[in-house]
Amino acid sequence: MSLAADEIVCLIGPNGAGKSTVLKTVFGLLEPWTGSVQFRGDDIGGLAPEDIVREGIGYVPQTENVFGSLTIEENLRMGGVARDDDLDPIIDGLYDRFPVLEEKRRAKASTLSGGQRQLLAFARALMMEPEVLLIDEPSAGLAPNTADEVFADVQTVNDGGTAILMVEQNAHKGLGISDRGYVLDQGTVAYENEAASLLDDPEVSRLYLGG
């Protein structure tokens, strides 16, 4: 499995296939049982998450990905706590990219809509200016219209130069914004191809896309 600079790669497959486990292993929350995790030619498998962040990889978990009792700006500052430089220019840059966050900068995260909370989670992870962002099921629990907004936000993050490895339950939507995809089944890669080719593959559609 690989991810190139500036790509969006989507992992799909049935529940229990190991999709989220891949992200957690890359981020250092789990140790690889076999194989290795390579980043820029270095083996980072087994490093602690805080070291993974410093290497240039961010992670947005599916749940509990923002601090509801803190304001938007406080959440962003928490995301940059490991930085030694001035956070204000980084925050201002994120406000430029995501104006709705600036409009609500003093609002508690608990008052945001589901889509806005996901956007804040993305922005908080971007405070460390990662080269790669791992996103676990960004549309989980969201209404279709809100999910579409979140997928547009994922594309905005990618357009800013961040490569994305994403797990997504809505395979059609996830592959629809991705460059390539992998289908996982029982912990192994069953299919891999360009995202458009996976969407057009009748066998993949029959087995994994509900077609």
The residue ranges of DSSP E strands in the chain, in sequence order, are: 8-12, 38-39, 42-43, 57-60, 132-136, 163-167, 180-185, 188-194
Question: What mean pLDDT do residues 114-119 have?
Answer: 93
pLDDT (tens digit, 9 = 90+) per residue, 127-142? 999 999 999 999 988 8
Q: Given this model, what pLDDT does residue 209 score?
A: 82
57-60 sheet: strands from edge to edge? 57-60, 132-136, 163-167, 8-12, 180-185, 188-194
Fold of 8-208: Rossmann fold (3.40.50)
pLDDT (tens digit, 9 = 90+) per residue, 138-185? 998 888 999 999 999 999 999 999 999 999 999 999 999 999 999 999
pLDDT band at 53 (very low <50, low <70, confident <90, very high): very high
Q: Would you say residue 211 has pLDDT above 70?
A: no
Report the percent of the chain where pLDDT is more than 90: 85
CA distance 49 to 66: 17
Distances in whole angstroms, Cα of residue 189 to Cα of each of 13, 33, 119: 9, 16, 30
The pLDDT mean for the chain works out to 94
Q: Would you say residue 11 has pLDDT above 80?
A: yes
Q: Given this model, what pLDDT does residue 34 score?
A: 87
The DSSP annotation for 167-202 comes to E-S-HHHHHHT-SEEEEEETTEEEEEEEHHHHHH-H
pTM of the prediction?
A: 0.93
